[in-house]
Structure 1
């Protein structure tokens, strides 16, 4: 079973969130580049995966939202955990301007 959470910010840049999330979680992010996703940042631990993803990704003709349901948020923080992430959620929700948007367990 895995938990997936999505957070959004319309006030922070990706760089701001990489710095803030790193400080809260004690993680190190690596910059990644994808044809589909553009430039995003990844911190991958054995039990927790955190991504900082701009919500506008390059498209063929124009930028398209990575998360169609929340186009108003410029930057997304995506988490995947193998165990319920209540501590993770509390730490991320303590970041001013970062809002919890969605939770899914699969």
Structure 2
């Protein structure tokens, strides 16, 4: 079973969140660009896959869309994808001021 968690912040920019998460988890992010998602940051390692991206993503009609429309107030998202439950990951992310856990899905 894989866990998918979504965190969000309106306190930090994507770059600031990359710096904070790097310090809390000792991971290395690489910047990526996608036509669908825009610029995002990706880290893969012991905790699984971690992505940081803006909530606002490029839309087809030259208008930005929200990646999580149910959370329009959130400016930056942190997405995790872990093959097994990772309580240490969630504890460490929970220690970052201004970062809130928004949802979890298990498949």
| TM tier relative to shorter chain | over 0.9
Q: How far did residue 61 of structure 1 move?
A: 2.1
RMSD of aligned residue pairs (Cα, Å)? 1.0
Q: TM-score, normalised by structure 1?
A: 0.96
Give the alignment of 1:67-82 within 5 angstroms. Answer: 67-82=68-83
Q: Distance in 1 between matches of 2:58 and 2:84?
A: 33
CA contact (8 A) 1:57 1:66 kept: yes
Q: Secondary structure at the match of 1:76?
A: strand
- Consecutive unaligned residues in structure 2, runs of 5 or more: none
Q: What's the secondary structure of 1:24's corresponding residue?
A: helix
Q: Which runs of 5+ in 1 are unaligned?
A: none
Contact in 2 for aligned 1:5/1:80 (Cα 8 Å): yes
User: 2:47 touches 2:89 (CA, 8 Å); kept in 1?
Assistant: no
1: CA distance, partners of 2:70 / 2:45:
28
Cα deviation, residue 47, structure 1: 5.1
Task: Classify the secondary structure of the residue corresponding to 2:39.
Answer: strand
**Within 1, Cα distance between the matches of 2:47 and 2:31?**
20
1:34-79 deviation digits (Å, cap 9, x = unpaired) = 0000000000126510000100011132111011111110000000
Confirm or deny: 8 A CA contact 1:56 1:63 kept in the other structure. Answer: yes
**What is the number of residues matched between the two proteins?**
106
| Structure 1 consecutive aligned stretches of length 4 or more whose deviation exceeds 4 Å | none
Distance 1:46 1:26 in 2: 10
